[in-house]
């Protein structure tokens, strides 16, 4: 059991010393601003502050619809296909971008949204513009061209025939489910 009993003198001392401390460990963004552009701050503050993807439409200048991008898990699909196209395992990619394999799987499946620092690493690994990746991940507002391209990518990816080994894995999974 933890003992969180500390002396009153220490607590008062810490209260004073803590006054100007920035405890937000884990949230570094300023270096990323240099990479993603100066308008990141204002655009993302608007988008994140509303707490809803739908509210993003309020700040769109044209008719690009980020909902299409986000609902299609375009970033996850991109990550999955680009990794496989290079013949890398999840573990190999995870090592390259300093993540664990489980987190990479969460990104690929769209269950977790990537942070900007991860997008920055992914962009370097695959040689794509980090800003565009941030747009398709729903962290920045995409322009009309990007939004349309992302939607087309998501739609085409979902209809691509399965590779033989994927088919076999699927059938094996279905057999396992049927036997449960």
Partner 1 sequence: MRVPAQIVDLARGAIVDAVLFDDVTADHFIQTQREWRPMVVEATRRMIKRGVAPELQPTHWHWNWENKSVQLGQFGLSFYGIECAGQLQGLMKVDLAKYSARIPTQKGAELAYIDYLEAAPWNHREIASELGEKRRYAAVGTNLFAAAVQLSQQAGFEGRVGLHSLPHPQTEQFYQKTCRMMPLERDSAKQGLLYFETTPELAELFLSEARK
Residues that bind partner 1 (CB under 8 A): 1-12, 14-33, 41-42, 44-45, 48-49, 51, 98, 100, 102, 106, 111-113, 116-117, 139
Length of the chain: 180
Whole-number minimum distance, CB 180 to partner 1, in Å?
24
Q: Which is nearer to partner 1, 111 or 167 (CB)?
A: 111
Which residues are within 8 A (CB) of 117 and not within 5 positions of it... i.e. 6 or more apart?
28, 32
Q: Which is nearer to partner 1, 116 or 151 (CB)?
A: 116
Cβ pair 74, 154 in contact under 8 A? yes
Q: Which is nearer to partner 1, 45 or 169 (CB)?
A: 45
**End-to-end CA gap in the chain:** 41
Whole-number minimum distance, CB 164 to partner 1, in Å?
31
Which residues are within 8 A (CB) of 41 and not within 5 positions of it... i.e. 6 or more apart?
33
Whole-number minimum distance, CB 6 to partner 1, in Å?
4
Please choose, from the candidates 160, 168, 136, the residue with its C-alpha nearest in 3D space to the C-alpha of residue 67: 136
Please choose, from the candidates 101, 103, 83, 80, the residue with its C-alpha nearest in 3D space to the C-alpha of residue 157: 80
Whole-number minimum distance, CB 17 to partner 1, in Å?
5
Q: Which is nearer to partner 1, 102 or 172 (CB)?
A: 102
């Amino acid at each position: 059991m933890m003992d969180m009993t500390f002396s009153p003198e220490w607590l008062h001392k810490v209260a004073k010393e803590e006054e100007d401390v920035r405890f937000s460990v884990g949230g570094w963004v300023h270096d990323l601003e240099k990479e993603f552009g100066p308008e990141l701050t204002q655009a993302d503050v608007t988008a994140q502050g509303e707490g809803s993807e739908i509210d993003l439409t309020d700040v769109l200048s044209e008719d690009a619809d980020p909902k299409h991008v986000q609902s299609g898990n375009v970033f996850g699909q991109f990550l999955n296909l680009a990794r496989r196209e290079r013949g890398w395992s999840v573990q190999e990619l995870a090592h390259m971008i300093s993540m664990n394999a489980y987190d990479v799987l969460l990104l690929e499946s769209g269950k977790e949204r990537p942070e900007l620092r991860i997008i920055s690493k992914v962009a370097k690994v695959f040689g794509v513009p980090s800003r565009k990746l941030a747009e398709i991940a729903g962290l920045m507002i995409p322009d009309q061209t990007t939004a349309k391209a992302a939607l087309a990518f998501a739609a085409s990816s979902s209809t691509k025939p399965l590779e033989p080994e994927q088919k076999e894995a699927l059938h094996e999974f279905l057999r396992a489910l049927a036997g449960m």
